[in-house]
Amino acid sequence: MMDLKNFLWGSATASYQCEGAWDLDERVESMWDHYLHEEGLENGDIASDHYHHFEEDIRMMKEGGQRAYRFSLSWPRIIKNKQGEINEKGLAFYHKILDCCHENGIEPFVTIYHWDLPQYWEETGGWLNEEVCTAFAQYAKVCFENFHTKIRKWVTFNEPKWFVCSGYLIGNYPPCIQDVSKTIKAAYHVMYASALGVKEFREGGYEGEIGIVHSFTPVNGVDDRIETKIAMRYADNYCNNWILDTAAKGEIPIDLLSELSKQYDISYMKPEQLKIIKENTVDFLGLNYYSRTLVKPYTSGETTFVVNNSGKAGKGSSKVIVKHWFEQVMHDPNSTYTEWDTEIYPKGLKDGLLEVHQKYGLPIYITENGIGMYEDVTVPQVDDEYRISFMRDHIKAMFEAMEQGANVKGYFAWSSFDLYSWKNGCEKRYGLVAVDFDHDRIRKPKKSYTWYRDMINSDAENLK
């Protein structure tokens, strides 16, 4: 039987998605503030107002049986400008959150960068600018120096693939670029910056561990043909390997670099930087799992990315083709999909955990897992039986992988409470706790919150 005594059961948020207070206490503008304001889109100016509700939110985590809280620090709240001037009020806010966590017996699991680049760096080219890599390392050092006595679990980046590809390839996130060569450069800079962050952590001799969090999507093929297996390798390099191989092994997949170098200039990947990447690998891997990627060999058409950010209005519109590489099968008749075209596929979590365990041999945390739905939160309690079913099936899949040897050390539900879901706005709800955005952001635990509490308190006895 598995020993779950030290297992980290928790939930997760991200700074821009929940804090609000976008211009309070000397916080400066982020790239998301700038983009959403300029475009007149729904924004996170207030979001869940965690900035003023964190004590209530963390108390509810404790009362919900949770042992850990995964959240991110806001670079624009901590560093005021390119010169590196520190905002003491920003540091004070995170000290209050960390103290509140410890007072409630909650382990902080802290991400240094969850997408909210300061606008002053975006204006210099963002992740296309190598200077930003050094700036990230300096920002990370400020975080280590100020919070190292209160944090033992650190994460450099949340989901490099998602924010890089959305920002520079698909173009549906800021800076809204659609350029393969710039995508490759931004991706490289982010992984180099992550290694520089790990280097600062190691050289500082801080206690604890440091890892990276990846938007993990194990790749399946439609059949066993060799053409399909080649397409799967292309898809795996695109979806997973450039993050996980680079962070865990210190090596960018050479077949990926070989393929890219045929069409694009990658001479900016300098030997001394690759050496830093090689020498500064992570202690653990965080995997955000929502679904798998099912692929077939490329047949025809230009590279196409259509992401459904509009829910039921766009259901069925998602499409992914990478010319000469692979096509993603988005609408398997044997599967169930959410309104946002996300396949519900718990088996992918089990298979993926075993794959990652066998490949890298590092401790693993499931750093996000959840389901986004439309919900009426005006009722006394949201009866989200679908979320309970989703979590139950995925936690069972996790346990099956653990029984077969996967070294999984924690599970974080996404999300702690309803929050702003980037381009999907606030109507796509993931929370264990409802937030009524129209009525003073009142918090109301959903049925899933109670189920999760009881499951944790029973050591998941009915799920093992």
278-306 pLDDT tens trace: 999 999 999 999 999 999 999 999 999 88
Which backbone phi and psi does 270 adopt, to 5 degrees?
A: -85, 145
Distance CA 116, CA 127 (A): 12
- For the question of residue 327 being annotated catalytic, the response is no
Residue 46, Cβ neighbours under 10 Å: how many? Answer: 16
Tell me the one-letter amino acid at 103: E
By three-state DSSP, how is residue 130 classified? coil
| Selected catalytic residue, list 19, 107, 122, 368 | 368
Residue 339: what pLDDT? 87
Residues 6 or more apart whose CB falls under 8 angstroms from that of 173 comprise: 115, 163, 166, 167, 422, 423
| Selected catalytic residue, list 19, 122, 159, 327 | 159
Residue 9, Cβ neighbours under 10 Å: how many? Answer: 22
By three-state DSSP, how is residue 462 classified? coil
pLDDT band at 1 (very low <50, low <70, confident <90, very high): low
Could you tell me if 386 and 447 are in contact, meaning their C-beta atoms sit under 8 angstroms apart? no
How far is the first Cα of the chain from the last one, in angstroms, to the nearest whole number? 8
Could you tell me if 200 and 137 are in contact, meaning their C-beta atoms sit under 8 angstroms apart? yes
Residue 313: what pLDDT? 84
Residue 341: what pLDDT? 86
Distance CA 329, CA 327 (A): 6
pTM for the model: 0.96
**Alpha-carbon distance values, 90 to 19, 74, 95, 323 (Å):** 12, 8, 9, 45
Give me the mean pLDDT over the 161-174 stretch: 96
- For the question of residue 159 being annotated catalytic, the response is yes
Nearest to 303 by CA among 190, 162, 165: 165
